[in-house]
């Protein structure tokens, strides 16, 4: 597969996920959560070099799953990794406190500080886009926590978490290694997130989604760590859950804002508006004062209302070099072909299904796409060796 085909494949996978609105599943291109800014970067040839895993679409746009452990059962880090989230200094795994994943048929640590570069393992081949998670149907994890300190004067729970950073600036370093700082993103318009997952946690476990943001007061410089969390529901088989926030909150301490509740540590509760408009990371956290192991698989992640749990292997259309003697132009929903001979023209949606086909010729060269909903499609003329992307608005 040549570089153009690889880039085309990555583009189609990325746009397929954008079209379906789910941001991530086991077949996500390069394993990166397809946040809109990630997709936009990968569609920019000046930014996205599929042969260079260090280009800015990989390094600055975020979207990578990354785990951390914390508490008395974890070990001090031996390399200079930056904070996983504000208030949590990354630690190394121990036999009691870890996050392991099944990747490419092997069980490996997902905890960043366990690796010299602090980035954790690759979940796909960054150059080809080939998923290392396809055989698992998702990101299969084992989260373990050890014994914590449960008062009366000190409370230090044991924590194991999996999270995804929204966006990075690419400027931070750990020694000579680039470890980016998070960039705040206003996520208001999404209204919440969804997860499709499998988990064996019980109602006695504290296992929740957490909104991560910089919880340092801009004026006082005081850390006011008081996260907004929403518990993952218990059940067998695939669970589909929306985690919806609201700026109309109930109560004072803790505050309940939609599906999210503030932990209630701060004397002056921080408004959820900060968590929503200055979000840096989304985490799924296991917290306990007693040893516990939870098996957890992420199947889908996206904006609220988009997860289905029905993930199947995509049937991608490989983007090939355009025939210079062929040209298609789209005016509204009318597609006009400039071709030298009669040819079958096919319109594919990004799930790989043909939604319209018609034979066009030099004299009958217009295809009416008025019956297709807005979205991204592929135009293909097989006999002419032509495939390209169109956007119907």
**What is the per-residue pLDDT for 151?**
83
The Cα 96–Cα 117 span in angstroms is 23
**What is the per-residue pLDDT for 8?**
44
Query: Is the model more confident about 241 or about 384?
Result: 241
- Per residue in 35-78, pLDDT (tens digit) is 988 888 877 767 777 677 778 888 888 899 989 999 999 998 87
**What is the per-residue pLDDT for 2?**
41
**What is the per-residue pLDDT for 182?**
61
Chain centroid to Cα 224, Å, comes to 27
Q: Tokens 């049937």 label which residue?
A: 315
Kindly list the structural domains of the chain, giving each domain's residue range(s) and its CATH number in brackets, ordered by start.
Answer: 3-303 (no CATH), 327-392 (2.60.40.3080)
Most confident of 94-108, 125-139, 321-335, 356-370: 94-108
Q: Is the model's pLDDT at 253 over the cut of 80?
A: no
- Per residue in 72-117, pLDDT (tens digit) is 999 988 777 766 555 566 799 999 999 999 998 899 999 988 998 7
**What is the per-residue pLDDT for 344?**
86
CB of 60 within 8 A of CB of 44?
no
- pTM for the predicted model, two decimal places: 0.76
- Per residue in 158-190, pLDDT (tens digit) is 999 999 989 875 544 333 334 445 678 999 999
CB of 341 within 8 A of CB of 361?
yes
């Amino acid at each position: 597969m040549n570089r153009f085909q690889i880039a085309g494949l990555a583009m189609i996978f990325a746009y397929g996920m954008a079209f379906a609105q789910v941001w991530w599943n086991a077949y996500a291109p390069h394993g990166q959560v397809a946040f809109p800014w990630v997709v936009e970067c990968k569609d920019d040839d000046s930014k996205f070099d599929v042969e260079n895993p260090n280009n800015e679409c990989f390094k600055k746009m975020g979207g990578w799953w990354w785990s951390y452990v914390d508490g008395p059962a974890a070990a001090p880090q031996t390399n200079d990794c930056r904070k996983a989230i504000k208030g949590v200094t990354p630690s190394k795994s121990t036999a009691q406190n870890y996050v392991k994943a099944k990747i490419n048929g092997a069980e490996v640590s997902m905890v960043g500080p366990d690796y010299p570069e602090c980035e954790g393992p690759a979940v796909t081949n960054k150059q080809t886009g080939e998923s290392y998670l396809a055989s698992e149907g998702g990101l299969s994890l084992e989260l373990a926590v050890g014994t914590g300190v449960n008062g009366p004067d000190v409370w230090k729970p044991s924590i194991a978490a999996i999270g995804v950073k929204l966006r990075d600036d690419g400027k931070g370093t750990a020694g000579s290694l680039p470890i980016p700082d998070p960039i705040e993103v206003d996520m208001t318009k999404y209204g919440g997130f969804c997860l499709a997952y499998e988990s064996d946690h019980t109602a006695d476990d504290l296992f929740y989604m957490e909104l991560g943001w910089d919880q340092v007061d801009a004026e006082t410089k005081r850390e006011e760590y008081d996260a907004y969390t929403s518990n993952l529901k218990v059940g067998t088989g695939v669970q589909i859950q929306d985690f919806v926030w609201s700026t109309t909150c109930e109560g004072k301490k803790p505050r309940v804002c939609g599906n999210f509740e503030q932990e209630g540590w701060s004397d002056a509760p921080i408004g959820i508006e900060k968590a929503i408009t200055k979000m840096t990371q989304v985490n799924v956290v296991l917290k306990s004062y007693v040893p516990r192991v939870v098996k957890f698989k992420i199947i889908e992640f996206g904006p609220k209302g988009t997860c289905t749990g029905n993930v199947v292997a995509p049937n991608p259309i490989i983007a090939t070099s355009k025939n210079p003697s062929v040209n298609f132009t789209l005016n509204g929903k009318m597609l006009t072909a400039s071709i030298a001979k009669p040819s079958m023209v096919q319109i594919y949606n990004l799930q790989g299904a043909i939604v319209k086909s018609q034979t066009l010729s030099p004299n009958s060269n217009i295809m009416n796409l008025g019956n297709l909903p807005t979205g991204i499609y592929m135009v293909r003329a097989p006999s002419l060796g032509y495939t390209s992307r169109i956007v119907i608005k």
